[in-house]
Every structure is written in C-alpha cells, then in structure tokens.
A and B are shown apart, each in its own frame.
Chain A
C-alpha cells in the first residue's frame, strides 16, 4: 500500500512542478513583458497552439498504444499541398478540405499497415514516411509555396464565432472527440491495454493488430485536420510547414502533457495543455528576444527532465 501512496505523491509532484513552473512564467511575464497579456497576443498564441494541439492529439493516440509517429508534420505539409492543389483546381473549399483529411488518413493507414501487419518498428517506419512525404512535397511544389487558394477559404478562418478564431474552435472540437474516444469507448480502452501490455491484451481477446492500425489512421487524420488549420493561418501550403522543429514541439507537448513514451499512460487533454505550454514558451522567448537556438536547448532539456521523471515513476 505504501507503494501506491508514493506513486500518488509522485504523480501529483509532476502536476505540482508543472503548475509551479507555469505560475512562475506568468509572473515573470507580468513583470517583464506584460504585452503578453494583450488580447491580440493571446489570440495569436491560441491560434498557433491550435495546430500544435491537433498534432499532439494524434501523437497521443499513437503513443498511448506504445508507438510513435514521426511523420505527422510531414504528413500535414503534404496533405496541405495536395488539398490546396485540389481546392485550386476545382475551386471548391469543401473538396480541398476533404482531400487534406483523406490524404492525412491515407498516409496514416500506410504507417499503420507497416506497423500492425508487417510488424515493423514504428520509429523506423514513420521516420521513413517523414522522409518520403517531405521529399514528395518538395518535388510536387518545386519548392514554391501554393498560395492560390480561393479567398473564401481564408475568409472563413478570419471569422470569429463565439469570439474565438475558428481554428481554436476546431482544435477544441478535436480535443472533445479524441478525449471521448479514448476515455469512453471500447476502442479507447483497447488502446490503453495494448500500450500497457500487448501480450496480455492479445490473450484477453483484444485485436491488437487492428487497434494499432487504427491509431495510426487517427493520427494521420489529425495531421490532415492540422493541415487545414495551418494553411488557413499561413495563407499558403508549403513543404516547409512540416520542418524538423515541428516534430520536436509535438513530442515536447506530449511529454509535458504526461503522455508516456512507453505507452499505456496519457490523456488527450494533457497533450493539449502541453501544446499550449510549448507555444507559450516559444512566445515568451520571442517577446524576450531570446535566440531560437536557446529555445531549442530549453525544449530538449524539458523532454529529458520529464522523461526521466516518467521513467522513475514507472520503476523502469
């Protein structure tokens, strides 16, 4: 029993540390850079966080099942490009968005097939996919961004239903759906089971292969959704949208959010909070004029610290 008590305290320790850090940052900002709290800046932060949050949601589903999807940003970029090209060719915003979602899910399905059916290692498969999608994106666009989308598309995203940018609402909706799936449905249960102990799950009649496959399709779909949001915000689709620092941010967001890289632990809500913190951190560095490279060091340090804490909790 004393072991469980200690684990409980450790878990709260984590939340306490993060809360403390957040409060410290906010206080620091209030003192040194109160411009952070201006409505324009906050909206900016939220919109930026929307893209990252959607990607982090997809990554969470995959990580909880014990895998990882390094191809998410590249998937997002390629889907954005393909969808934009469709949108321009048919002058249909709806079709373009559909293509982005479908492309995202298709790439996810390819990853899922390789992991679940061919039993390949997720790290390797998604790394290869990241490279392939990235290369394809550059080749397709000739390194030129696609910016001839219909104006209607951008106008939609400039609107502010309920006073919040559409992108933020989309991210919130995605959060609600993913949290519901993971927390309330049979599939969600099976994902946690597979991430905790795939051998035991299999003997307990969980269709492990199918579950793994679906987690990658979901993450791919999230990449497609993020493609819509990011294209609207930037006003164009380009291969650079999926550059290397994005995957770092996604993983940082998940790790801060309490998603375990060993699988079986992590909540979608945590990942979204993690995404928010990553963006806030980036915003803080910006406002303070801190070098981008130092911010990279800080993010790397955070990942190491939190994973070490996670490992200690797991007793691994």
Chain B
C-alpha cells in the first residue's frame, strides 16, 4: 500500500498510509487512538475505498469496491468484534455466507469435513458439530480464524486479537499465528499491547496522525523506541498551571480491582490538584475512572473520600454525588441534544432549583444559565437555543457549565477536548486550571500528551490496567515515555 489517503468529511483519517507485506512475515501495526490503523486496514479489506493511493498485490494494482473483492483477492480480515452466531454449529459458522452446495442444497458432509480440516490445522480440539454458544471466547476466535482461512488467503489481518483472551488463549493464538506464517501467509497484527509483539512479529509498522511513520524489522527496536515513534516529537510545552499543591488527599484509592477492566489501582488525589492519567490506549484509563464511580459494577479494594471531615470509606453513590464526570461521549452521554442550553445546565441541578412544591423555579434557572453562559463565554444566541445546534466547543462548555453548577469535589475529565478547535481547547484547559485553583480536584484523561503536559500537577502512570507510579508535573518527555515502556520509574511509587 502506498500513499493511501482517506477523509471522512472534514476529518483526515489517513493522510499517507504505507504498508509492505511479505509472505511468511508477521507485521505488527501500531498506533495511538485515531492514528489511522483501523481505517487503513478497512481500506485493505475492501470495507472502505481510499481517496488516493495505490494497493499493489504481487505487483498488480487492485481496486476493492466491496469486502467481497478483497476476499477474492486473497485478503482475510479477523475483526476485533467476534461475529460468531451462537445458535449455529461451528461448521455453519465457518461457512456462513459461502455454504458449499450440491444440487442447490447445503452439502453438509463436505462442510463438516472441510471445517474439521481447518480446525486441525489450527490445533483446535472442538468438533465441527459443536454449537458455538458452548465455546469459550478463545475457541470462538478460532472459528473466526477458520472462517478467514476458508478461502486460502495470502494475507490475513488480525485486529486487536488478544483484547479479550486469557493468558493461555493468547499463547495458543500466537502459536496459530506462527504456524500460519510458516505456511507462507502474510500477516498483519494490529494491537496496542506493545510487549506482546516481540515474540510474535517480525517487523513493525507504526502510524501516527494518519501517516505511516516507520516500518522496520523488530530486531533493531526496543519498547522505548517504538513508543517514541508512536507519540512523536512532544514539543517543549508551556505549562499554564502553577506548582503542585501539597495538600491532603481528597480521594484515596487502594487495591481497586474490577474484573478484567482494572487489575490494580493505588493512588491519592490531592485537593485542588490536576492529576493527569498518563497511559497508552488500552491501559485502562476510562475503565479506571468508571470503576471509581461504580458505573460498571461494584469494584474491589477501598476508596476513601474526604467530603469535609477527613478521609472515610465511600460508597459508589456518595462518590457519584460528589463527582462531576465529563465523559468521552459528549453528544451521547453528556448532553440532551434537543433540549436548550438552559435546560441542559439545569439537569443535574434540579434539586437546588426546585421550590417546596416540587416546581422548578424558572427565574432561578434562567439566572443560573445566564451566569454560566457569561462565565464560560459560551457562544449562543440565547439560553433557549437547542444544544444540538451548537459547535463542538460550545457544547463541551455547556457540559462544563452544568457540572460547575453542582459545585463538585472532584471533576473527572475524559478526553475533554476531543474534536474541538484550537481556541476551544485552550478555553477548556484554562477553565480546568481555574477550577483546580478554586479547590476542585481534577482527574484528567487525554490522548494528547501535550495537553496533559500543559495542565497536570502530577501524572498517574497507567500500564496494562495497573497504576505504575506517579511522576511530577515537571517531568520531561523522556521520563514520560520511559514510564510507559516499563523502565524503572524516576519519581517514586504511589503516594
């Protein structure tokens, strides 16, 4: 693949995608969230058509208009989301969409035999007649792989194959990948678990901001070099926040666990500080904050909150009542799009805005809305404007406004500036700093290192679902990258 470009409207998903694959090689494809990996692979798999660029297969230019074209050209895609039909048998699942027929009827013996053959190649030990719903996730993935192998592909793409596998299943998958490679298949292995690729892959291609920045044999590289390539050159950042406050903690988390979402978390959040959660995609940042709030079930471990009388163990309900959560999904979870700006701002504050009879005091609501609009400089024609018609930046300001009015102890920001233009990003970051100065404690997640570096008093390092220590806000980019690559931390352990 050369010079691939693809835009969705105004969004440039891929600007310069390049990839070279050779039979009998496993190529890892890495990149941060939004780097363009999925789009590039969807283009290769025929799901999307590129705006520019060429795909050469054995020297011949190819144009895929539909996934079927790519499949016929020998490209098979094992998706991240398993598309296995639980109520059908393994054989039926493998041959779905391409049942072998005899005189117009499905040729079951042939289907069973061929499935058995494919399963044997994969070292799978279940029968072609087993019902898919009785199988584990790892086994279901084997079904998907068998389905991909059906047409004897020359290229196989694995998209985040180990996200939901146990350690044993991961090992088995890697064996399968190795044996496929030995048969001469060219394999693309997309993952965000960097440590995994070293045993499995021969070379690595790294994408950043829509372009392939490097493709090189793995032999010469270590984790740090890879992460550096993924994150790129982090410019010297001008910080807009003062020195880290040395205040007592308002939140103390010890031994937090929640299934496979959070392996272990230990940290303190000090009053009035901005704690930047620093970790790569897949490290479990959003999962961590959701676990603290109990949004995905009751977590194990202890969480203590200081609501004025010192640290004391807190329930999920108490934490939710004291915390403002600005989620990643502004339009789906942060706002009621058909409602007006004023109504959105009012929503979590209805109790304070209601009178004795349960009626909403419109005057108070209007005053609150106008005050917030002024304070956050929200560009609206009036408080009655439907929030769905505002720009992304102003929508995010409305989300901030409604939470500000609840006077929270803790503010959790999950990708607060995603999709916003530069000046809106600046505004949001400045508000955050102001809030911290006013005593609100902030936990911030961002995929843009520069952003975290501008506002974090301290960094909480997260690696593969575990907290791995804390760094001071003044840490340089080398220290930050070292923290992610598993090198011993400069800056000490949790506290």
Partner-B contacts on A (CB < 8 A): 1, 3-4, 184-187, 189-190, 192-193, 196-197, 199-201, 203-206, 264-265
Tell me the chain B residues, 352-367 only, with Cβ under 8 Å from chain A: 353-354, 357-360
Contact at B351–A206, with CB atoms within 8 Å?
no
Name B386's contact: one of A4, A184, A197, A264 (CB within 8 Å).
A4
A111 vs B348: C-alpha distance in the bound complex, in angstroms? 27
- Residue in chain B with minimal CB distance to A314: B338
Contact at B336–A193, with CB atoms within 8 Å?
yes
Contact at A1–B336, with CB atoms within 8 Å?
no
Known A1-B389, A4-B389, A205-B320: A200·B334 in contact at CB below 8 Å: yes
Contact at B339–A205, with CB atoms within 8 Å?
no
Contact at B358–A193, with CB atoms within 8 Å?
no
Contact at B358–A200, with CB atoms within 8 Å?
no
Name B336's contact: one of A184, A186, A200 (CB within 8 Å).
A200
A3 vs B358: C-alpha distance in the bound complex, in angstroms? 35
> Could you list 17 A-B pairs, sorted by A, with CB under 8 Å?
A3-B389, A4-B386, A184-B359, A185-B360, A186-B353, A189-B350, A193-B336, A196-B339, A197-B336, A200-B334, A200-B335, A203-B327, A203-B333, A205-B348, A206-B347, A206-B348, A264-B338
Contact at A200–B360, with CB atoms within 8 Å?
no
Give the chain A neighbours of B350 by CB distance below 8 A.
186, 189-190, 206
Contact at B332–A196, with CB atoms within 8 Å?
no
**Nearest 7 CB-CB pairings of A with B:** A204-B347, A186-B354, A204-B348, A185-B358, A205-B348, A186-B350, A184-B359
Q: Is B56 at the interface (CB under 8 A from chain A)?
A: no
Give the chain A neighbours of B360 by CB distance below 8 A.
184-186, 189
Within the complex, what minimum Cβ distance (angstroms) separates B468 from chain A?
A: 29
Q: Is B257 at the interface (CB under 8 A from chain A)?
A: no
Give the chain A neighbours of B339 by CB distance below 8 A.
192-193, 196
Interface residue total, chain B, C-beta cutoff 8 A: 28
Q: Is B346 at the interface (CB under 8 A from chain A)?
A: yes
Known A196-B336, A200-B335: A187·B389 in contact at CB below 8 Å: no
- Residue in chain A with minimal CB distance to B321: A205
Q: Is B397 at the interface (CB under 8 A from chain A)?
A: no
How many residue-residue contacts, CB under 8 A, span A and B?
Answer: 63
A193 vs B360: C-alpha distance in the bound complex, in angstroms? 14
Give the chain A neighbours of B334 by CB distance below 8 A.
200, 203
Q: Is B463 at the interface (CB under 8 A from chain A)?
A: no
Known A1-B389, A185-B359, A186-B360: A197·B347 in contact at CB below 8 Å: no
Q: Is B400 at the interface (CB under 8 A from chain A)?
A: no
- Residue in chain A with minimal CB distance to B354: A186
A193 vs B348: C-alpha distance in the bound complex, in angstroms? 11
Give the chain B neighbours of A193 by CB distance below 8 A.
336, 339, 347
Give the chain B neighbours of A4 by CB distance below 8 A.
386, 389
Within the complex, what minimum Cβ distance (angstroms) separates B443 from chain A?
A: 16
Contact at A186–B402, with CB atoms within 8 Å?
no
Known A185-B354, A186-B359, A190-B350: A201·B386 in contact at CB below 8 Å: no
Partner-A contacts on B (CB < 8 A): 320-321, 325, 327, 332-339, 343, 346-348, 350-351, 353-354, 357-360, 386, 389, 402, 406
Contact at B402–A204, with CB atoms within 8 Å?
yes
Within the complex, what minimum Cβ distance (angstroms) separates B179 from chain A?
A: 44
Known: A196-B336, A196-B338, A200-B332. 15 other contacts (CB 8 A): A1-B389, A3-B389, A4-B389, A186-B350, A186-B359, A186-B360, A189-B343, A189-B346, A192-B339, A200-B334, A203-B333, A203-B334, A205-B320, A205-B406, A206-B348
Give the chain A neighbours of B353 by CB distance below 8 A.
186
Within the complex, what minimum Cβ distance (angstroms) separates A181 from chain B?
A: 8
Within the complex, what minimum Cβ distance (angstroms) separates A211 from chain B?
A: 11
- Interface majority SS (helix, strand, loop, mixed), chain A: helix
Within the complex, what minimum Cβ distance (angstroms) separates A230 from chain B?
A: 30
Q: Residue among B353, B358, B406 with the most chain A CB within 10 A?
A: B358
Q: Residue among B321, B339, B406 with the most chain A CB within 10 A?
A: B339
Within the complex, what minimum Cβ distance (angstroms) separates B365 from chain A?
A: 10
- Residue in chain B with minimal CB distance to A1: B389
- Residue in chain A with minimal CB distance to B344: A204
Give the chain B neighbours of A185 by CB distance below 8 A.
354, 357-360
Within the complex, what minimum Cβ distance (angstroms) separates A108 from chain B?
A: 19
Give the chain A neighbours of B348 by CB distance below 8 A.
204-206
A205 vs B346: C-alpha distance in the bound complex, in angstroms? 11
Give the chain B neighbours of A201 by CB distance below 8 A.
336, 347
Known A4-B389, A203-B327, A204-B402: A186·B321 in contact at CB below 8 Å: no
A204 vs B406: C-alpha distance in the bound complex, in angstroms? 10
Within the complex, what minimum Cβ distance (angstroms) separates A38 from chain B?
A: 42
Within the complex, what minimum Cβ distance (angstroms) separates B193 from chain A?
A: 29
Within the complex, what minimum Cβ distance (angstroms) separates B96 from chain A?
A: 29
Within the complex, what minimum Cβ distance (angstroms) separates A192 from chain B?
A: 8
Known A4-B389, A193-B336: A187·B321 in contact at CB below 8 Å: no
Give the chain B neighbours of A265 by CB distance below 8 A.
338
- Residue in chain B with minimal CB distance to A196: B336
A55 vs B348: C-alpha distance in the bound complex, in angstroms? 31
Give the chain B neighbours of A204 by CB distance below 8 A.
347-348, 402
Give the chain B neighbours of A192 by CB distance below 8 A.
339
A201 vs B343: C-alpha distance in the bound complex, in angstroms? 12
Name B358's contact: one of A1, A187, A203 (CB within 8 Å).
A187
A26 vs B20: C-alpha distance in the bound complex, in angstroms? 76
A265 vs B339: C-alpha distance in the bound complex, in angstroms? 11
A138 vs B208: C-alpha distance in the bound complex, in angstroms? 71
A265 vs B386: C-alpha distance in the bound complex, in angstroms? 14
Within the complex, what minimum Cβ distance (angstroms) separates A7 from chain B?
A: 9
- Residue in chain A with minimal CB distance to B351: A186
A186 vs B321: C-alpha distance in the bound complex, in angstroms? 18
Within the complex, what minimum Cβ distance (angstroms) separates A205 from chain B?
A: 5
Give the chain A neighbours of B406 by CB distance below 8 A.
205
- Residue in chain A with minimal CB distance to B343: A189
- Residue in chain A with minimal CB distance to B353: A186
Q: Residue among A4, A192, A200 with the most chain B CB within 10 A?
A: A200
- Residue in chain A with minimal CB distance to B358: A185
Give the chain B neighbours of A203 by CB distance below 8 A.
325, 327, 333-334
Contact at A199–B346, with CB atoms within 8 Å?
no
Known A4-B389, A193-B347, A205-B321: A186·B335 in contact at CB below 8 Å: no
Within the complex, what minimum Cβ distance (angstroms) separates A5 from chain B?
A: 11
A207 vs B196: C-alpha distance in the bound complex, in angstroms? 43
A3 vs B337: C-alpha distance in the bound complex, in angstroms? 14
- Residue in chain A with minimal CB distance to B338: A196
Within the complex, what minimum Cβ distance (angstroms) separates B412 from chain A?
A: 11
Within the complex, what minimum Cβ distance (angstroms) separates B175 from chain A?
A: 41
Give the chain B neighbours of A186 by CB distance below 8 A.
350-351, 353-354, 358-360
Give the chain B neighbours of A190 by CB distance below 8 A.
350
- Residue in chain A with minimal CB distance to B357: A185
Within the complex, what minimum Cβ distance (angstroms) separates A148 from chain B?
A: 41
Give the chain B neighbours of A196 by CB distance below 8 A.
336-339
A54 vs B334: C-alpha distance in the bound complex, in angstroms? 35
Q: Residue among B337, B343, B350, B354 with the most chain A CB within 10 A?
A: B350
